[in-house]
Amino acid sequence: MSNVWKEGLSINKPRWIILLLDMMIVVVAFLTSYVLIFKHRGGIEIEAMQQQGLLVSAIYLVWFCLLGTFKGVVHKTGIRELQRIVMAIVLAYFSTVLICRILEWSQPAFLTTIFPFSDTQLLFHALIAGFGMTFSRVLYRALYHELMWGNKDNRIPVILFGAGNMGNTTFYFIHTTSRNKYRIVAIVDDNPHRIGNRIQGFKIHDINELNKAFVQRHGNAAELIVAIDNRAPERLNKIFKLAEPIPLIVKIIPDTARLMAGEVATRQIRSLRIEDLLGRKAIDLDNPAIGAEMKGQVVLVTGGAGSIGGELVRQLAHTDLKQLIVVDQAESSLYDIQQELSSSANFERCLFMVGNVRDALFMDTLFQIYRPTYVFHAAAYKHVPLMEANPYESILTNVWGSYNVALLADKYNVSKFVMVSTDKAVNPTNVMGATKRVAEIAISTVNINSRTNFIVTRFGNVLGSNGSVIPLFEKQMLKGGPLTITDLNITRYFMTIPEACQLVQEAAVMGKGGEIFVFDMGEPVKIMDLAKQMIRLKGYNYPEDIDIKIVGLRPGEKIFEELLANGENTEKTYHEKIMIAKVNTPDLALQRTRIEQLCELAKTADPNGDKMKLVQLVKDIVPEFRSQNSIFTSLDQ
């Protein structure tokens, strides 16, 4: 029987049927109001009731047709449809009163039996008809949703966080979306002014009440859906920490604008991500000066297929550049980003070249032919343990590659050269960080006598970049764990890839040459906490489902990263998240000589036999470089 009802309700009824049902409600409402009024006024005149009923029904029919009250999909009836019904009823009522007054005044002979009219009865009729039409639609919609998916036993019981406009919209969205897989069992909020009020019959509870007992009392909810527009990381962190021990899976719904625009389906309610819990507000840059400065320019991005370079290419590809040249030695990765951007409107302006920044002839030819006006240098080796084992490669790419591109930028009068550096260049304890610091110094030595503005940007770990901790943890979880961290107390600064690339472009605009820009990355994140959060975000429990194993520091690895070296301080810029590091680099002429000696040695050195000699030269250039947990610690003695 239930299936028969479902089949009947699921079919969109022809409009004439809806109109017919509405007219039946109008007729029944008229008969009811007539009987209730005239039985107290000397009796009911059947003939008068029939004629008045026909006249009133005809007037209502005209207004229903004019306003299209029957054209809406009944099981999706909303405020606008109900407003249209109310408008039709009001207009029909006043039209009926006016026509009745005209007829009473003119007294046509063929309608002598229609009088008298009762204003009270006509008003009573309008109220009954309006209530009947509204109630029938609301009842139909409720039956539709209840029979179509209201009794699904497999729906996920969820607690909704957010009782503001976003929460109210989400509540309606979840309850009126077909194929709905969620069932709201409770609503919570952190705004004290909303606590105790109700939404759709649900009492709004304080988020601090959230515990295992609360969940058991409210349908054993399995998930917590966050429906708020203010997604400050500290707020999301508090919600996550309350839900974690229960445990509840925390999910988040897209923003109100997309929700209201109808662009969201319940399948797009996504899990909370690590970047949502950075512990600081996301850095949001919307500087029109970036697009204005890049307009009509030829831009070169080295390392354009890497994590930072690739996102930089994606963002620049959508600006009004004259040409975007993307260089990387990784053929497969370069092909991937080429295919990704193939549908872009500016794809014809993009040139993808397989090449190495260490190749002086190749890079010189590229500069000579295309004459870039902006260079974003993101090509580098970045993995600490690998570079500790292969200092030859690290020096050739990170030092000589950077120096080579910088010299060419100077030679061909590039307007601005921006190099992507790292916090590991500060008081380095490993070859990778030390070679990046040498590259920073090399850029400074070229800048002092150049018309090109050389700029360095320095930031910490980038969430989701190739080889970073997040993808590593995800791979380890796919294998069932354990997650491996090197030290219980190890911390890192984090930012997202889009944040990093926006900040690099912002630094390019504000840079005048010679600056090392550092970014406000908030407080450092403890990797142990990060690992636990990732386990919970994936729906697992620590340590029951997935454990965490301490494996010890790797060669050259620090426990704490720094953004500034000892003795360095910062100078503010017009952007609160960007500062200029005041770096002391004495005797740049001597440093340039040492860097050129290092580069010449690297080009002819034995990669294995000359390891110690190469690293010793790096230490001469960067005296604060102290190796840690490495074979090169002997050089520090």
> Is 532 tagged catalytic?
no
Give the C-alpha separation, 593 to 603, whole Å.
Answer: 16
CB 585 within 8 A of CB 516: no
Cα 84 from chain centroid?
A: 37
**Cβ contact 182:155 at 8 Å:** yes
Contact 357, 405 (CB under 8 A): yes
Cβ atoms of 366 and 327 within 8 Å: the answer is: yes
Q: Which residues pair with 327 in a beta bridge?
A: 302, 353
Q: How far is 442 from 223, CA to CA, in rounded Å?
A: 53
How many alpha carbons fall within 13 Å on the CB side of residue 265? 5
Catalytic residue among 424, 558, 577, 619: 424
Q: What is the 3-state secondary structure (H, E, C) of 97-150?
A: HHHHHHHHHHCCHHHHHHCCCCHHHHHHHHHHHHHHHHHHHHHHHHHHHHHHHH
Give the Cα separation of 362 and 390 in Å (integer).
Answer: 24
β 494-496/416-422 pair status: unpaired
φ, ψ for residue 299 (rounded to 5)? Answer: -120, 130
Residue 380 one-letter amino acid = A
C-alpha 458/C-alpha 467 separation (Å) is: 19
CA distance 350 to 339: 11
Which segments of 450-495 does DSSP mark as H helices, in order? Answer: 469-478
Burial class (CB in 10 A: 0-12, 13-18, 19+), 296: exposed
Return d(Cα 625, Cα 627) in angstroms, integer.
6
- SS3 for 10? helix
Angle at 264 between CA 258 and CA 266, to 5 degrees: 145
How far is it, in rounded angstroms, from Cα 302 to Cα 309? 7
The amino acid that residue 205 corresponds to is H
The Cα 45–Cα 2 span in angstroms is 44
Rounded CA-CA distance 557/580 in Å is 26
Task: Please report the beta strands in 512-633, taking only residues with DSSP state E, as ranges in sequence order.
Answer: 516-519, 525-526, 548-550, 569-572, 578-582
Q: In angstroms, what is the C-alpha Rg of the chain? A: 36
**Residues belonging to the active site:** 424
